[in-house]
Amino acid sequence: MFRNQQENNKKNIEIVTEDQLQDKDQRIMSVSAIPNVVELSNQMIEFLEFYDRTDIVKMRKTNYANYLNLMYEKFNNMPASMISLLSDEKNRAQNLTKLIEMLETLGKVKNGEKNLEEVRDEFIEQNNEQYFYPAFGGKEQLIKDIESKGGKIN
């Protein structure tokens, strides 16, 4: 595992050991912890319909604190992160696509069509490709940089 540190616009690679990653309170992944995907999908649809209502749009513009309070009360069974992603108007289409993909994948895991650990690893790699590796000139460049500093890649 590597931590990207930006110092004076210089890229620094700090190798984080396995011992540093160990957390005594680490949560164990479990398929049983996956929420009802159909219910969550229905809540997303309801949220989007509610979000675009004229009175809600007006409240969002005139009294944002009350708007937030109302949204979190009304959709209290929906994860706050999901509410935040769906409320981001600038990135809503992209966020909605990712949420739908996530729900589809979780549904496949819950139904036994996919393995939870494999899905987690795919998710991590997908996010690394999109957000982490580009900061180092890509995955291959990152590996070269690590190896040139004496690090090893499994």
**Domain ranges, ordered by start, for the chain:** 36-148
- How much is the pLDDT for 22? 57
Radius of gyration of the chain (CA): 20
- How much is the pLDDT for 45? 95
- How much is the pLDDT for 120? 87
- How much is the pLDDT for 19? 61
Quote the pTM value.
0.65
**How many C-alpha atoms does 63 have within 13 Å on its Cβ side?**
8
- How much is the pLDDT for 31? 83
d(CA 133, CA 146): 12
Contact 48, 86 (CB under 8 A): yes
Contact 116, 29 (CB under 8 A): yes
Amino acid at 50: F
Residue 26's φ and ψ, nearest 5 degrees, are -60, 135
Which residues does the chain have with pLDDT short of 50? 1-9, 24-25
